[in-house]
Amino acid sequence: MKMLIGGEWKTAASGGEMEVINPATWEKVGVVPQGGQDDVGAAVDAASEACSGWAALPPVERGKILFRTAALVREEVGRLAAMLVAEQGKPLREATDEVRGFAHVLEYYAGLSSSLYGESINTRLYGRIIVEKRPLGVCAGIIPWNMPVMIAGWKIGPALTAGNTMVLKPASTTPLTTLAIGDLFLKAGLPAGVLNIVTGPGETVGEALVTHPEVRKVSFTGEIGTGRHVAETAAQTMKHVSLELGGSDPMIVCDDADLEVAAAGAAAGRFYNCGQTCTAVKRVYVFSEVAERFRELLTEKTRAFTIGNGMEKRVRMGPLNNAAGLERIEAVVEDVRDEAEILTGGTRPEGKGFFYEPTLLAGLPADAPVLSEEVFGPVLPVVEVEDLDEAVEAANSTRYGLGASIWTKDLGRAERGCQDLEAGIVWVNQHIKVPPETPFGGVKWSGTGRENGVHALERYTEEKALLIRP
């Protein structure tokens, strides 16, 4: 496949290429250009040229193109989902949901396009102030590999609806489905240069986008260290920056919770996407009165997660996406193997693919790193607590604050969780799902800014005040 620059499919200026492999089989599934600084320059030029024409279109006309793209994505969901399984590793059912979710996000923003308007303020003394909402200009979207299609939608949807143009950089292990969707945007009538997709390594393509003076906003999703570097670099050219940097989401299970439902929620919330979701359940704090029963139920549900190639029907959990991720998960478990109780899992199956068994840990010391750092894979620690005070204190004890959940039938406890858990999203009796209406993002080190909802649309515009004296 080639890169999308200025409405045309291009090879890298250097001629370089990168292979994409299937994480379940280690077979090559595609080749994409290894872009560099020159390619980013060409893409930003194309996006700059397209800016004024796109911004001048009535918002409803922009919305119509997004609606048409969403319809084409829905027609092609089978092909796109199979491509996503091949490059990312997730089961076909999850990939299908993700592709449909992408279409849903576009439809949501297309629907909002007719509600883009400014304000008028009457000051009497100085006359009327008109506040216009203007697009920012060229925006860069830097995408991770865990939910490459959905996260691309979270950036493209509000950026284009608000009248911006965009250069996307997919993760190096998962560029294929994003490029295929780029083609559907063109087929839907998106003008050349409004959306550009440059493939290549983060250190060159990502870096060139973040340093380019014409790029007015960088929306980044990925690791904390990279995010901090992106923010520092983007500050040199005064860009707007939005950072979604993952989390270590706690789940609190109270003694009055429906334990069947909570155990199913914990397993689905952790092992979805092989544990590689920023809002996955990453730590469980369960009241000691019900801990034994909860552990039994959770162990039973975890053992039901059949692992294998995501294209096989019976499979509920695919491989990790890449070798580095697998190595990190193996190291996390080895680190606690002597002191923790491994309720199930804890090994890597023989053979090809970046597979790791769904794993439950108990009996961990309070200072175990698995309880404070983001673990991006299928490992879930379960910790006993005496009461809600202890649970909330433990839940808030990390530097992260993306999501958190509380499972209870008691409205008072639910309200306490909503108020006191330090997180951008608090779920009650559910976890992980983020419909497009939800403002999505974290507090503390989980990042800055919000994606999704009308709130993201605000962040892709800036106010211009007009003070008019007749």
Binding site for ligand NDP (CB under 6 A): 142-146, 169, 171-172, 201-203, 206-207, 210, 221-223, 226, 229-230, 244-246, 278, 325, 374, 376
CA atoms within 13 Å, Cβ hemisphere of 186:
17
CB of 75 to ligand NDP, least distance (A): 28
In single-letter form, the type of residue at position 56 comes to: A
Q: How far is the CB of 358 from ligand NDP (least distance, A)?
A: 17
CB closer to ligand NDP out of 113 and 146: 146
Comparing CA positions, the residue from 54, 18, 254 lying closest to residue 134 is 54
3-state SS, residue 408: coil
206 vs 346 by CB, closer to ligand NDP: 206
CB of 399 to ligand NDP, least distance (A): 13
> Shortest gap between Cβ of 460 and ligand NDP (angstroms)?
19
Minimal distance, residue 470 CB to ligand NDP, in Å: 49
Does residue 107 contact residue 66 with C-beta atoms inside 8 Å?
A: yes
Give the H/E segment covering residue 141.
strand 138-142
Helices 176-187 and 59-75: crossing angle in degrees, nearest 10, is 120
The size of the chain, in residues, is: 470
Closer Cβ to ligand NDP, 222 or 318, answer by number: 222
Give the list of residues 6+ apart from residue 75 with CB closer than 8 angstroms, or none: none
Give the residue numbers marked as catalytic: 244, 278
Minimum Å gap between C-beta 307 and ligand NDP is 19
Whether the CB-CB separation of 125 and 75 falls below 8 Å is answered with no
End-to-end CA distance of the chain: 57
Contact 222, 183 (CB under 8 A): no
With respect to ligand NDP, which residue has the nearer C-beta, 429 or 448? 448
Match 């490459």 to its residue by tokens: 148
64 versus 229: smaller Cβ distance to ligand NDP: 229
Of 74 and 229, which CB lies nearer to ligand NDP in the complex structure? 229
Give one DSSP letter per residue of 448-461, joined into a string: ES-BSHHHHHHHTE
Which of 143, 115, 55 is CA-nearest to residue 458?
Answer: 115
- What tokens does 150 get? 């959905």
CB of 321 to ligand NDP, least distance (A): 8
Chain centre distance of CA 67: 22
Task: Report yes or no: 160 and 113 within 8 Å, Cβ to Cβ.
Answer: no
Closer to ligand NDP by Cβ: residue 202 or 265: 202
Which residue has 């029907």 as its token pair? 313
Cβ neighbors of 158 (< 8 A, separation 6 or more) are 109, 451, 456, 457, 459, 460
The span from the CA of 117 to the CA of 427, in Å, is: 32
